[in-house]
Each structure stands twice: as structure tokens, then as C-alpha cells.
């Protein structure tokens, strides 16, 4: 039976074909394409699969389906060209017994509909070969292509003006918005904020590529190689018995790679103060400088609190408050609590309770700014009780 084979190509991966696609293309002699600019042609050339540009047939005038497509809003000239291409494809199929067309990666025109309609009316079998799924991460290519377009000729003037330095604050802001989304616990919000953060990575990589330094593939290769090197228990023969051992191995491999002799090197000074204190203490503890039990940091917190109470000079007081906070970080670590996360959650609770207390005061016709502390505390305690009684508190 006469047949037409329509082979779809991936808009994201036009040079990569799954086995079923290769089988269909390899069986065709030749593979037909609509024009010589098809992005999959280099793959056919490497595989030595012959191809030809499909020659449209002479125009025989519109049929019913053609008029219907025009009535649906499709361009008259586009429908006419697709009709001639469909007729040309079917003529070759009738002449040779079969014809295989490699469709454009973005196939949003009427060609497939017209081929199917005309084939049905002339008893020609139509076989469609579509790639089944794409590799995980394929959608990242769309983001890279979009940012390349924004930074390219005719792109966005704002994107063109940016530098690594000008984007730095956006990188920090997006990272904190991811933290907010994590604490909020809404998957949709987290997905959105991770996308904003991912854009910053792609944006910086595109600027580096524009400057001839590196590109997004270099970034991906670098972190992939690092992950493989630092997980010898997964990609090598090393055996581990706990997550703690994994972390120790990671740090040891990192020290060897960087040739570090300073155990505190590599900790960014720009980290938020609580995170900076926690990382410094952890590194010191890895080197053996740590209290053996929780009683040590607990006693230190009490000691530093007394020194804060006794301090009078501003500079001395600032010093002692810093010591107290540093001791509290040590106590949190000894208790297995991440101090930065704990304080952020407390700040979020404070904000929610403050706004609830303020709203309650306003609902009673009172000006919150004019309330005395005792009245404020009454509203605060009520807001706290209401939050505790809430299902998601």
C-alpha cells in the first residue's frame, strides 16, 4: 500500500533522534525536508542519510478542508503553500510507493492536517513518528535560548546594559526569596522562585559568553565534575556509613583540591552574620575546637549575658552583645538547630502576630501608635493564642 511517513523532530534537540526516529529516517531514500535550513540536517549528513528539499506540486486550487482552515483564521498564502507541499509529497509517495518527510521542529502550520486529509481521500496510508519524551532537563535549553535572544541583536536594552556587578544585588534578593518560599512551604511558590534564581545563573553565564570567558555549558560541566569528584562513595569505590561521614569526606576532598592550609579559608565574609558565625564554628569544631557537651555553650551564653548587663560604654556593649550572639549560635549548633533558619522563622512569626495585633486594635477603633505597652501586650497575647489555635500554626 502507498504510504507517507511524517517524522517529527525536536525543537529543543534537533540533532538528537531516538531509535524509532532513526529507523524511519534510515529506511527513507531520500528523506524529504521543506527547506535546506532544517536544523536536523547536520545529523543526517553525519549519518550519511540522503535528503532532498520537497518540491511543491502545481497549484490545483483549494479543497473543502483548505477553505475551512482559512475560515479558522490561518493565512491564505500559508494554506496554499501547505496544500502544494502536501500534493507534492503525495505525488512522490504514489510514484515510489512511499515518501518520508522530516517535519520542521516547530510544526504549527496546516501541512499535517492537509496531508492527512488528502491521503485519506486518495487511500494513502499516513504513518507518524514522534520522539517519545525528552531527556530530563531539556526545558533548560529554552531558558538558555531565551536569554541568548534577550542579550543578542535586537534583544532587550536593559539586558544589554547589565554587568556581573549590576546583577549582584538581584542574585542576593532572589536567593532570599527562595528562602521565603521554602519557609512558606508552597511548592508552586518555590518553583517560581527557583526559576527566578536559575535565571540569574543563566544570565551571568550568557554575559560571560558574550565576553569570551565561559558559557553555560562550562558552568554545568564544572559543577558536574565537582559533584563526581566529591561523591566517591557514589561514583567510586569508597564506602561510607553515615551522612556525617559524607560531609567529612567532602570537606577533606575540598581541602585537597584547593590546597588549603587555613581551615577557615573559603568562608564568604559577606554571609549573613548568623550563618558566618555558624560556619566559622563548624570549621573550628571539625578541627577539634568545640565543647564536648551542650553544657559548655549553655554556660557561655549565661556568662556573656551577664557581661552584656554589666557593660556601659557603647563600644564595650557592642562587643559583648556580639559575644552573646556568637555564644547563642554555638548553643544552637550544640542543640542541632540551624540558627539562621530559627531566627528567620521567629521573625516571620513576629511579623504575623504584630500585624494581627495591630489589626485587632484598629478593629476596636484604637490607634495602635497610641497604645500603652500593657494594652499592646494584651492584643499580642490574643494574636498568639489565635495563631496557636489555627490548623496550620
pLDDT number for residue 68:
67
Q: Is position 245 within any domain?
A: no
pTM of the complete model:
0.66
Residues 321 and 282 occupy one common structural domain: yes
Query: Do 159 and 195 belong together in one domain?
Result: yes
In a domain, 235, yes or no: no
Q: Is residue 40 within 8 Å of 146, Cβ to Cβ? A: no
Domain count, the chain: 4
Closest Cα partner for 5 from 144, 77, 87, 112? Answer: 112
pLDDT in tens, 121-171: 888 999 999 877 777 888 899 999 999 999 999 999 999 999 999 999 999
Q: Tens digit of pLDDT for each residue in 328-341?
A: 999 999 999 999 88
User: Is the pLDDT confidence value at 378 over 50?
Assistant: yes
* φ, ψ (nearest 5 deg) of residue 153: -55, 135
pLDDT for residue 15: 85
Cβ atoms of 297 and 330 within 8 Å: the answer is yes
Give the CA distances from residue 258 to residues 8, 76, 244, in Å, rounded to whole numbers and listed in that order: 48, 65, 21
Q: Look at residue 249 and give its three-state secondary structure.
A: helix
CATH of the domain at 216: 1.10.287.1080
Residue 244 lies in a domain: no
CATH code where residue 38 lies: 3.40.1010.10
Peptide bond into 172 cis (omega under 30): no
287 in Cβ contact with 263 (< 8 Å): yes
Cell of 177: 526569596
Contact 114, 82 (CB under 8 A): yes
Q: Are residues 90 and 8 in the same domain?
A: yes
* Cα separations in angstroms, 222 against 195, 207, 372: 21, 17, 59
Tell me if 332 is assigned to some domain. yes
Residues 97 and 43 in one domain: yes
Q: Coil, strand or helix: which one is 58?
A: coil
**86 and 99 part of one domain:** yes
What size, in residues, is the chain? 393
81/199 same-domain check: no
Boundary of a domain, candidates 86, 108, 129 = 129
Percent of the chain's residues with pLDDT above 90: 62
Q: Are 50 and 32 in contact (CB under 8 A)?
A: no
E strand residue ranges, 250-356: none
Hey, what's the cell of 183?
Answer: 519557609
Task: Provide the domain limits for residue 169.
Answer: 139-229
Q: Considering the domain boundaries, does residue 189 fall inside one?
A: yes
Say yes or no: 33 and 145 in one domain.
Answer: no
Half-sphere exposure of 330 (CA within 13 A, CB side): 26
Amino acid at each position: 500500500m502507498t504510504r507517507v511517513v511524517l517524522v517529527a523532530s525536536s525543537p529543543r534537540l534537533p540533532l538528537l533522534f531516538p531509535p524509532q526516529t532513526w529507523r524511519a529516517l534510515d529506511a527513507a531514500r531520500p528523506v524529504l525536508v521543506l527547506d535546506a535550513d532544517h536544523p536536523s540536517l547536520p545529523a543526517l549528513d553525519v549519518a550519511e542519510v540522503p535528503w532532498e528539499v520537497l518540491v511543491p506540486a502545481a497549484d490545483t486550487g483549494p479543497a473543502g478542508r483548505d477553505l475551512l482552515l482559512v475560515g479558522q483564521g490561518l493565512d491564505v498564502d500559508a494554506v496554499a503553500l501547505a496544500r502544494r507541499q502536501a500534493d507534492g509529497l503525495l505525488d512522490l509517495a504514489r510514484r515510489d510507493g512511499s515518501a518520508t518527510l522530516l517535519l520542521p521542529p516547530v510544526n504549527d502550520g496546516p501541512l499535517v492536517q492537509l496531508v492527512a486529509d488528502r491521503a485519506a481521500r486518495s487511500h494513502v496510508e499516513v504513518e507518524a513518528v514522534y520522539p517519545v519524551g525528552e531527556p530530563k532537563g531539556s526545558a533548560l535549553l529554552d531558558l538558555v535560548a531565551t536569554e541568548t535572544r534577550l542579550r543578542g541583536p535586537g534583544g532587550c536594552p536593559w539586558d544589554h546594559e547589565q554587568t556581573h556587578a549590576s546583577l549582584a544585588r538581584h542574585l542576593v534578593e532572589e536567593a532570599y526569596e527562595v528562602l521565603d518560599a521554602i519557609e512558606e512551604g508552597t511548592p508552586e511558590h518555590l518553583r517560581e522562585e527557583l526559576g527566578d534564581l536559575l535565571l540569574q545563573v543563566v544570565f551571568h553565564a550568557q554575559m560571560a559568553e558574550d565576553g569570551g570567558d565561559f558559557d553555560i555549558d562550562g558552568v554545568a560541566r564544572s559543577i558536574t565534575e565537582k559533584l563526581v569528584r566529591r561523591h566517591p562513595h557514589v561514583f567510586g569505590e569508597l564506602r561510607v556509613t553515615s551522612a556525617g561521614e559524607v560531609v567529612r569526606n567532602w570537606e577533606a576532598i575540598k581541602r585537597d583540591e584547593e590546597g588549603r592550609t587555613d581551615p577557615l579559608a573559603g568562608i564568604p565574609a559577606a554571609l549573613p552574620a548568623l550563618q558566618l558565625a555558624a560556619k566559622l564554628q563548624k570549621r573550628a569544631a571539625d578541627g577539634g575546637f568545640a565543647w564536648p557537651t551542650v553544657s559548655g555553650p549553655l554556660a557561655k551564653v549565661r556568662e556573656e549575658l551577664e557581661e552584656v548587663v554589666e557593660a556601659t560604654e557603647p563600644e564595650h556593649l557592642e562587643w559583648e552583645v556580639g559575644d552573646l550572639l556568637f555564644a547563642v549560635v554555638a548553643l544552637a549548633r550544640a542543640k542541632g538547630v540551624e540558627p539562621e533558619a530559627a531566627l528567620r522563622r521567629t521573625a516571620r512569626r513576629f511579623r504575623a502576630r504584630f500585624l494581627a495585633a495591630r489589626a485587632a486594635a484598629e478593629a476596636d477603633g484604637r490607634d495602635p501608635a497610641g497604645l500603652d505597652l500593657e494594652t499592646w501586650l494584651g492584643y499580642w497575647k490574643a494574636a498568639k493564642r489565635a495563631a496557636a489555635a489555627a490548623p496550620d500554626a
